[in-house]
Structures are given as C-alpha cells and as structure tokens.
C-alpha cells in the first residue's frame, strides 16, 4: 500500500522549470526563398555550424509547412549556410533551449519542460527529433538535401529525411554518439541508409565517412565538386518540378510505404526506446542524460578520432 502511494506521488511529480538565460544569436535560424517552382530552405545558425536547437527545428518545420502549402512550389531543397551542413543537435551553445517548453507543439505530445526524470527527454525528443523527422519525410513534395562539409549525428537525420541527397566532394558523414552511450541518433534509419554490416561499422567505429564512400554505399545520390553543388541541385530540382505534382507525391509515398513495410517505422520506434534507456542509464551512472558531453568535448573527441584515422 505504501509502495502504491509512493508510486502515485512520483507519477504526479513535476520539477521546476529551468530559469536560464538563452541567447539566440539568429532571429531567423532558417531562411526561406522561392525561385520558380523550387523552395530553398537554408539552415542559418552559421556561428554554431547549424547545430540544431528547438528554435531552429520549429523554424524549419514552419518553412516545410509553408512550402507544402504553396501551390507554386513543387520541389523543396534543404541546404545550409556556413562552414558545415549541420554539426548535429545543440548540446552546448548559448541558444541551447532543450529545457524550454512550447505552446506551438506540432504533435499531440504534452510539454516536457516541467517533467521529472527520464520523461523530460523522452517527451521532448519524441516531438522535435522523432516526429519532426517523420513529418518531414512524409511531406507530399519531393525534397533534396544539398550537403557540404560536416553532416554529423543529428545532421544525418535532416539529410536522411529528404528524398534525394546530393553532396559536395568535401562532405563527410558521421554518427559518433556511441561514445556517449547511445545506439545511434534518435531517428535510427542507419540500417536503411546503409546495409546492416556497413551500419554497424559506421556506428561502432564512429568514424567520418567521405562523400565518395557514402555514395558507394548507397546513402547519397550524387557527389559533385563543391563549386558545382548549387547548380547541380538546382538543375535536378527544376527537372523534377517539370513532372506532374500528384505523380511526384504518389511516387514518394509509394517508396516510403515500401520502406515502412520493410520495417523502417517499427524499427525506429523500437530503437527510440533503446535510445531513451541509454539516456536514463547515463543519468543514473554519469549524473547527466548525455553523459557529460557538450559541443566542445564532442568536437575534441571527433578531432582526435579523425587524427587516429589518418595515422
Ligand atoms: Zn536523445
């Protein structure tokens, strides 16, 4: 009886909202423009290599929504300003806003910010990582990711949800989060983007793979010189835009449906639970849900790992 009472108390427990100064360095973390029948969405947290905070992800969702609703837009390109396509999820900039709740949530999830224990990250990541990725993958217009330089961890998620990926020859791809205790990022598409044995190597070693290598493995569609990247993507987008709208949407739906029949959706659901078991374990063992890592520590570890590869 007393156990039940204590369980009930825990279940109803909330925590205080974190009062922290969050500094957004960009008012518009994603830029939106339309040229002809193509919408260009440009990640614009240049100072922090397009690391993804909630501000950026909600802005990106707004842009995708706008492009979907515009009858003049038939194809959507996702690209980035700055040195890298995306350094991953924001784990340490002044604009890191993981503990901020939002009234403009896009799924039926409740707010996470005042929830205790493992619930907080589980609920937040279900919305801004898992459901956002699925929402963007399922939108009814073809999408092309235009990737240059670093496409790391959460960066992969943004590229993977696009229908086509074109990269410059200076691009590299990496999911280094096993060192943080996780079986890969929240959207576990790895064994669909690579074959299973390649996915294991990609994750277990956590190394950078060149554009050429991921192209050979089938993860991306095309590799071009950096100065040809923009024009190549534009040409593809315009060619696709000349096809009938509904056929484009049905073709995309058909391919995605087959992927889901092959287990993509249910597989990602299962691994999402494992990912959050790892978050909870990090909190128990290390006292921090991402095992004490921050942007700097990850960057150092990555630098060291790429040095090891070279030597
Ligand atoms: Zn996570």
- Tell me what percent of the residues of the chain surpass a pLDDT of 90: 87
Domain ranges of the chain: 18-310
Instruction: Look at residue 302 and tell me whether its pLDDT is greater than 80.
Output: no
Q: Distance from the CA of 223 to the center of ligand 1, in angstroms?
A: 30
Which has the higher per-residue pLDDT, 308 or 60?
A: 60
Q: Distance from the CA of 65 to the center of ligand 1, in angstroms?
A: 24
Cα distance between residue 44 and residue 85, in whole Å: 10
Q: Distance from the CA of 36 to the center of ligand 1, in angstroms?
A: 38
Q: What is the per-residue pLDDT for 295?
A: 80
User: What is the three-class DSSP state of 144?
Assistant: strand
Instruction: Look at residue 9 and tell me whether its pLDDT is greater than 90.
Output: no
Burial class (CB in 10 A: 0-12, 13-18, 19+), 104: exposed
Cα distance between residue 227 and residue 217, in whole Å: 24
- Considering the four listed CATH numbers 3.90.226.10, 3.40.50.920, 3.40.50.280, 3.30.70.1450, the one that applies to the domain covering 18-310 is 3.90.226.10
Instruction: Look at residue 98 and tell me whether its pLDDT is greater than 80.
Output: yes
Cα distance between residue 180 and residue 303, in whole Å: 16
Q: Distance from the CA of 35 to the center of ligand 1, in angstroms?
A: 36
Q: What is the per-residue pLDDT for 116?
A: 95
pLDDT digits (tens, 9 = 90+) for 258-294: 999 999 999 999 999 999 999 999 999 999 999 999 8
pLDDT digits (tens, 9 = 90+) for 195-249: 999 999 999 999 999 999 999 999 999 999 999 999 999 999 999 999 999 999 9
| Residues at Cβ < 5 Å from ligand 1 ion | 125, 186
Of 174, 219, 196, nearest to 84 by C-alpha is 174
Q: Distance from the CA of 24 to the center of ligand 1, in angstroms?
A: 22
Q: Distance from the CA of 296 to the center of ligand 1, in angstroms?
A: 18
């Amino acid at each position: 009886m007393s156990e039940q009472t204590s369980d009930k108390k825990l279940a109803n427990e909330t925590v205080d909202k974190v009062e922290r100064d969050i500094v957004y360095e960009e008012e518009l973390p994603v830029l939106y423009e339309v040229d002809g029948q193509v919408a260009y969405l440009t990640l614009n947290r240049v100072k922090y290599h397009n690391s993804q905070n909630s501000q950026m992800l909600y802005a990106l969702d707004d842009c995708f929504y706008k492009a979907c609703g515009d009858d003049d837009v038939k194809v959507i390109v996702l690209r980035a300003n700055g040195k890298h396509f995306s350094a991953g999820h924001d784990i340490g900039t002044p604009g890191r806003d993981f503990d901020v709740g939002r009234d403009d949530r896009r799924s039926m999830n409740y707010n996470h910010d005042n929830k205790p224990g493992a619930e907080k990250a589980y609920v937040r990541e279900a919305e801004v990582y898992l459901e956002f990725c699925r929402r963007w993958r399922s939108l009814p217009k073809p999408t092309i990711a235009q990737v240059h330089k670093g496409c790391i961890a959460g960066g992969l998620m943004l590229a993977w949800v696009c229908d086509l990926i074109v990269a410059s020859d200076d691009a590299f791809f990496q999911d280094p989060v096993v060192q943080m205790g996780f079986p890969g990022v929240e959207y576990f598409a790895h064994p669909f983007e690579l074959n299973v044995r390649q996915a294991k190597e990609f994750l277990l070693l956590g190394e950078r793979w060149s554009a050429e290598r991921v192209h050979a493995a089938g993860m991306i569609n095309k590799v071009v010189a950096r100065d040809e990247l923009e024009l190549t993507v534009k040409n593809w987008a315009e060619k696709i835009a000349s096809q009938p709208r509904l056929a484009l949407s049905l073709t995309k739906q058909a391919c995605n449906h087959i992927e889901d029949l092959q287990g993509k959706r249910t597989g990602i659901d299962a691994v999402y639970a494992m990912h959050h078991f790892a978050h909870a374990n990090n909190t128990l063992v290390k006292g921090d849900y991402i095992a004490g890592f921050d942007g700097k520590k990850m960057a150092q570890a990555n630098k060291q790992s790429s040095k090891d590869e070279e030597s």
